[in-house]
Structure 1
Amino acid sequence: MDAGRADAAISFEPHRPRLHRVAYRMLGSVADAEDVVQEAFLRWHTADRSEIDNAEAFLVRVVTRLCLDVLKSARRKRETYIGPWLPEPVVETEADLAEDVTLPLLLALERLSPLERAAFLLHDVFGMEFEEVAGAIGREPAACRQLAARARQHVHDARPRFAVDQRRGMEIAEAFFAAAQTGDMAALKSMLAADITVTADGGGKRPAGPVPIVGLDDVMQLMERMARLFARAPSQLVRLAMINGLPGYVTLEADGQLQTTALEIVDGKIAGLYIVRNPDKLGHIKGAALH
């Protein structure tokens, strides 16, 4: 490594975790976030760093604009995605995710325009002033305030009002896994909210429902079908984990593939199950899942 690149790397590394968090929350893809951060490093390497007063502001601006470019093509890909789309799961050992950025909020962000998403995340999540946000997304501060306000209205219901205690959440996750594997329908029903929604992302690579399943009756029918499958080929619990800010677990399924299940818990009941089965979204968790 030449001296210039080594110097750039040394000055860049302290910012990498924050840049990755920005990119991941913008894109919902670990791989895309890593690509964006690497591109930001290359631009940092070639920039005249002696002219940059605030390295973090410069790098956040670069990452944000790169993410906005990626989102343009990502939206086209989502239009042809097979079945429901979920963000790539991140377990707690991989990133220090803020507690208020849970999986339901990430999904709510998908409904925003790229500029609304950027303004909301940079201001409401990362605490940047609107003057800084304006520099990052190339809009006037007043326009950024409007973008963030519109985003806030759209994501209001997805932000946790009473986050479940992590320890209690893990207890519920463990109990749910056990009841699902043993086919204890009474226990399962007692844990589920009346308006529960189950969303499974197989991406056309592994079996998964083509649309989310909504309502206790339909979900219980799904649980009964799954119990019959588990009786023949049970899942192996790899570890309990916080997944995108929600309690859940990583399992090894009968086909030899990993799977993540995250539980949205509201008022002590499971209101949402988010299951990622698409192997393209699980490769990055293999090492972390085993520790």
Structure 2
Amino acid sequence: MSEKTGGLLESMQARPEAMGPRGVRAVTSRVDGDDVLRVEWPEPVDGEIVLRHVETGEEREGTGLTGLRPGIWMASHRGEPLATDDPGFSLDGLLAYAETPRDREIRAFRTSIGTLALTVRAVEPYVEVTAVVSDDGVIEVKGTLAYGEPVEGPARLVAVARKGPQPVSGPALFRGRHFEGSFPIAPMAEAQAKRRMFWDLHAEVAGVRLPLAARLDDVTEKKTRVRFPAQYVGQVRVRPYYTDTDGLAVALTVEEKSP
């Protein structure tokens, strides 16, 4: 979401007298794999849902979402903001949605005043991380391929330094959408050329690198809230972590000797 879009959305949500849910209320409101908004009503209603783009004011009638421009779209029904009881989050639903190859993601969500909105953004294939194990001199990662075509066969789990050393990698495997791989931490520690270094993790298959990240859950500020165990190679501490953009990376820090 752009800064401008976020500001406009906050402004609209801050005026309950203009935006408050006074019309019908949806029980559930989700986007399916075909980019259609599926709404469950407590009782039958007539009239179409209208979507309005927050930045441009463009309007779209109906629940077919193909072709929506990126940004935030607010939903209304018969001229009133469409209230919803659905927070819009289902990890299983989002994982199922990500199993469809696509270059654009559409999510339904409930605003702070309880109305339905959609967010549309461009996406590229990546591996959604489902498990990280840091132990016994290796880092192991499991995940699910999101937004890309299924892959079968051997791959690599690759750690790429942001500056300096050559990549470090280990064996990995794709089974359809399931990914798992591991790599040793010693080569990274041996390449330590300054006090702190950072390595970003990728799945590599057929010469193509796919970022590893955790973007589908509802955990915010993962960088400070999710902590993985650290390992040590001599004085070098090795710890996986999530970046500001929820990418999976590894931080290596040389710790000073105790006096």
TM over 0.5: no
Give the TM-score taking structure 1 as reference length: 0.27
Q: Which has the higher contact order (CA 8 A, sep 6+)?
A: 1
Give the TM-score taking structure 2 as reference length: 0.29
Which structure has the highest helix share of the two?
Answer: 1
